[in-house]
Chain A
Amino acid sequence: MAGWIIAVALAGAALGGGVPDKPAPLPPYGAAYTPTTVDERGLWQQADEAERDLRDSPVVVRDAALNAYMAKVLCRSVGEDRCRGVRIYVVRAPVFNASMMPNGMMVVYTGALLRLRDEAELAAVLGHEFGHFEQRHTLASFRRGRTIGDIIAWTSMISPYSTLPASLIQLHFAYDRAQESEADMMGLRYLTAAGYRPFAASHIWERLMAEQDATALGRKRHVTHRYAAGFFADHPTHLSRAIDLRAAAGSEGDRGDDALDAFQTAMRPWRAGFLADQIKLNDFGGSEYLLAELANGAWTPELLLTRGELYRERGNPRDLVSAAQFYQQAIDQGCTDPVAWRGLGLSLLRGQQVAAGRAALKTYLEKAPAASDRAAMAMLIGEGGVQ
């Protein structure tokens, strides 16, 4: 019975899917590459429309130096001949993510840039996404999903209680996870070939796991690290990615360049902004972990200021005491951002230290006379507004 159902379903899928056409033999990153099959051309056109939208969108970070740096890292990682087929868009979003469209449009979130530690890790992420592009993963996934959808449609007509659809859906996601693993390995090969430190790829996932644990703890949730991917998971678990990448990196995994200085120089102008976006996520545990991770024992004024903002935002009386300390430490270490005095003043005022709080707010207004919240701060100092 089951065999008969599958045969009918496959026949139906063949009818619906039409003649399977093979993609062009050329690699998709070539300068003159043009997709030829109906499916690939359709997907490229859809991606072109999406890129047209994103290109003009205000969420894209347009800074020339940052974009040049991203392109440089991609070119070093995958090679000058390959990287020309890709356009990178840095999108302002405070979560760890990056994605690849079939037409060579790559998106990297600022949240990923904040979490990466050095250039080797960035190269691992870019190489992974490039692997999706090179192997035409979107096209393969689209076709597989369509065929599976067709079979499910026929099966549900012919045999509504069949378990075949569930198996097929499981299969679809298993294939998607296999694509991710393949892209991971391609990224690692590019990383190694470019002379970067191979362990960088696994380090990303190890730290992300720790951050997820911290987020869960901060939200009083169970820490759930899975060893196997769930039914609907389109990516392998962080744990298996970390283990596989570490194993594939081999015994020489710790040798190689991490280009830490170049990465830090490129990110320095941006980090304060990325941090400000991060703490608006209302993720105390994850943000606190991330800050400690970034500080790595050496708290800079910028990180101390952000930590103060994070604690002041949570706002328990004990948090305000901590926040005031962090602001004060940032100021003592030479912080020049006026926001530090505002944070200090507001924390002290809430903690009933009125005189000291007002003094800090006065300093804030002296340092930022054109601040948009000037009127509100003046009122708190007692110099104006409705008392």
Chain B
Amino acid sequence: MRRGWNALALAAALTMAAAPLAAQEKTGNRPGFTLAPGTATIVLMRPEIQVGAQSTGGAYEPNADWTDQARENLGKALAEAQGRLGNRVVNFVEPVGQGAATAHEYRALFTTLADSVITYQFFPGNRLPTKKREDSFLWSIGPEVASLPGVQGADYALFVTTEDHYGSTGRKLLQVFAAAAVGVGVTSGMHKGYAGLIDLKTGDLVWLNADQAMGGDVRTPEGAAKRVAQLLEGFPGKPVEAAAPAPSAPAKTASR
């Protein structure tokens, strides 16, 4: 943390290029996998949520209020959306002691796996030879995940990660000025996220959806519902309606 600010951060503060992600695939499904409504219990792991602003120079400014709002709104929207899918969603209860260490390692393992899928399968220019065929979405974190404390009796684990940097007023002014007076493109804001489903019996990744440019303002209930609909795009089973209305009844929130 003390060394977090380095030369690269300052140099990278000015990202002039638009992200070349248009050609990237976003969703993968394990071949042959289906999830019939009303048959499964899904454990929602504690979502990783970061919300803040982007300064004029491009630095991330963490915002505790926005992150708290997003955590609450996304938790409600996820429960709502999963309810409409017809499956039971329960929140993961964090174990203590050795169980907590195991849960930590699985969270890290899942993040690594998801990053690998995004890097080596979703991006066509960088696809591994074994991932080039049709029906080659074969990734797993191993069957030992079944012994993770807190997931007994459940069928699937749902992992959700979102990161939002909202462009500040200064950043937007810079963007407008750069485009109008200098003629270079400056990006304002960064909104990315991914969601994945792990089969707790086999450890297989049965579905992953990743998007580097997501919609929906997670700081509001309406926006969070839209974000969740985008996160769950291509979810095996019944499709979620896009831009669902804000949930009016109090629903379960993600455990903190």
**Which of A143-151, A209-217, A298-306, A355-363 lies at the interface with chain B?**
A143-151
B111 CB to nearest A CB, Å: 11
CA distance A16 to B57 in the complex (A): 8
Question: B55, A148: Cβ atoms under 8 Å?
Answer: no
Question: A38, B63: Cβ atoms under 8 Å?
Answer: yes
28 of the cross-chain contacts (CB-CB < 8 Å) are: A12-B174, A15-B169, A16-B55, A16-B168, A16-B171, A17-B170, A42-B63, A42-B64, A44-B64, A49-B50, A50-B1, A56-B100, A56-B104, A57-B101, A58-B104, A100-B1, A100-B2, A145-B9, A145-B10, A146-B55, A146-B59, A149-B55, A151-B57, A153-B57, A157-B177, A165-B10, A176-B5, A234-B5
A43 at the interface (CB under 8 A from B): yes
Question: B2, A146: Cβ atoms under 8 Å?
Answer: no
Question: B7, A232: Cβ atoms under 8 Å?
Answer: yes
Question: A101, B169: Cβ atoms under 8 Å?
Answer: no
Interface of A is mostly: helix
> Beta-carbon contacts of B1-39 to A below 8 Å, as 1s and 0s?
111111101100110000000000000000000000000
A368 CB to nearest B CB, Å: 27
CA distance A175 to B14 in the complex (A): 22
A147 CB to nearest B CB, Å: 8
Nearest-neighbor residue (CB-CB) of B105 within chain A = A58
A337 at the interface (CB under 8 A from B): no
> Beta-carbon contacts of A136-180 to B below 8 Å, as 1s and 0s?
011001100110111111101100000001000100110010000
Question: B174, A157: Cβ atoms under 8 Å?
Answer: yes
Within 8 A of B (CB), among A49-97: 49-50, 53, 55-58
Question: B173, A101: Cβ atoms under 8 Å?
Answer: no
Chain A residues with CB under 8 Å of chain B are 12-13, 15-18, 38-39, 41-47, 49-50, 53, 55-58, 99-102, 132, 137-138, 141-142, 145-146, 148-154, 156-157, 165, 169, 172-173, 176, 232, 234
B221 at the interface (CB under 8 A from A): no
B181 at the interface (CB under 8 A from A): yes
B182 at the interface (CB under 8 A from A): yes
Q: Which residues of A contact B9 (CB under 8 A)?
A: 145, 149
Give the size category of B's interface with A. Answer: 35 or more
B91 at the interface (CB under 8 A from A): no
Q: Which residues of A contact B59 (CB under 8 A)?
A: 145-146, 149
Question: A142, B5: Cβ atoms under 8 Å?
Answer: yes
Q: Evaluate whether A172 and B5 lie within 8 angstroms (CB atoms) in the complex, with A16-B170, A45-B64 already known.
A: yes
CA distance A234 to B156 in the complex (A): 46
Nearest-neighbor residue (CB-CB) of A99 within chain B = B2
Question: B62, A45: Cβ atoms under 8 Å?
Answer: yes
Q: Evaluate whether A42 and B1 lie within 8 angstroms (CB atoms) in the complex, with A146-B61, A148-B10 already known.
A: no
Q: Which residues of A contact B174 (CB under 8 A)?
A: 12, 16, 153-154, 157
Question: A153, B2: Cβ atoms under 8 Å?
Answer: no
A67 CB to nearest B CB, Å: 15
B135 CB to nearest A CB, Å: 36
B56 at the interface (CB under 8 A from A): yes
Q: Which residues of A contact B4 (CB under 8 A)?
A: 138, 142
| Inter-chain contact total with CB atoms closer than 8 Å | 130
Question: B56, A15: Cβ atoms under 8 Å?
Answer: yes
Instruction: Give the most central of A148, A150, A234: most B CB within 10 Å.
Output: A150
Closest 4 CB pairs of A and B: A16-B170, A149-B57, A16-B56, A42-B62
Q: Which residues of B contact A232 (CB under 8 A)?
A: 6-7
CA distance A53 to B4 in the complex (A): 17
Q: Which of A43, A49, A132, A154 contacts B56 (CB 8 A)?
A: A154
Question: B6, A56: Cβ atoms under 8 Å?
Answer: no
CA distance A145 to B13 in the complex (A): 10
Q: Which residues of B contact A42 (CB under 8 A)?
A: 52, 61-64, 67
Question: B170, A172: Cβ atoms under 8 Å?
Answer: no
Q: Which residues of A contact B178 (CB under 8 A)?
A: 157
Instruction: Give the most central of B61, B103, B169, B181: most A CB within 10 Å.
Output: B61
CA distance A169 to B59 in the complex (A): 14
A126 CB to nearest B CB, Å: 15
Q: Which of A137, A142, A152, A157 contacts B10 (CB 8 A)?
A: A152
Nearest-neighbor residue (CB-CB) of A160 within chain B = B182
Q: Which of A16, A102, A151 contacts B1 (CB 8 A)?
A: A102
Question: A157, B182: Cβ atoms under 8 Å?
Answer: yes
Q: Evaluate whether A138 and B101 lie within 8 angstroms (CB atoms) in the complex, with A16-B57, A16-B171, A46-B62 already known.
A: no
Instruction: Give the most central of B3, B10, B63, B182: most A CB within 10 Å.
Output: B10
B63 CB to nearest A CB, Å: 5
Q: Which residues of A contact B75 (CB under 8 A)?
A: none
Q: Which residues of B contact A142 (CB under 8 A)?
A: 4-5
**7 other contacts beyond A13-B170, A56-B101, with CB at 8 A cut-off?**
A16-B173, A38-B64, A56-B104, A145-B5, A145-B59, A157-B177, A232-B6
A195 CB to nearest B CB, Å: 28
Question: B63, A138: Cβ atoms under 8 Å?
Answer: no
Nearest-neighbor residue (CB-CB) of B46 within chain A = A52
Q: Which residues of A contact B193 (CB under 8 A)?
A: none
Question: A152, B13: Cβ atoms under 8 Å?
Answer: yes
Q: Which residues of B contact A15 (CB under 8 A)?
A: 56, 169-170, 173
Q: Which residues of B contact A53 (CB under 8 A)?
A: 104
Question: A41, B64: Cβ atoms under 8 Å?
Answer: yes
Question: A12, B173: Cβ atoms under 8 Å?
Answer: yes
Q: Which residues of B contact A43 (CB under 8 A)?
A: 62
B115 at the interface (CB under 8 A from A): no
Q: Which of A153, A157, A169, A173 contacts B181 (CB 8 A)?
A: A157
Q: Which residues of B contact A16 (CB under 8 A)?
A: 55-57, 168-171, 173-174
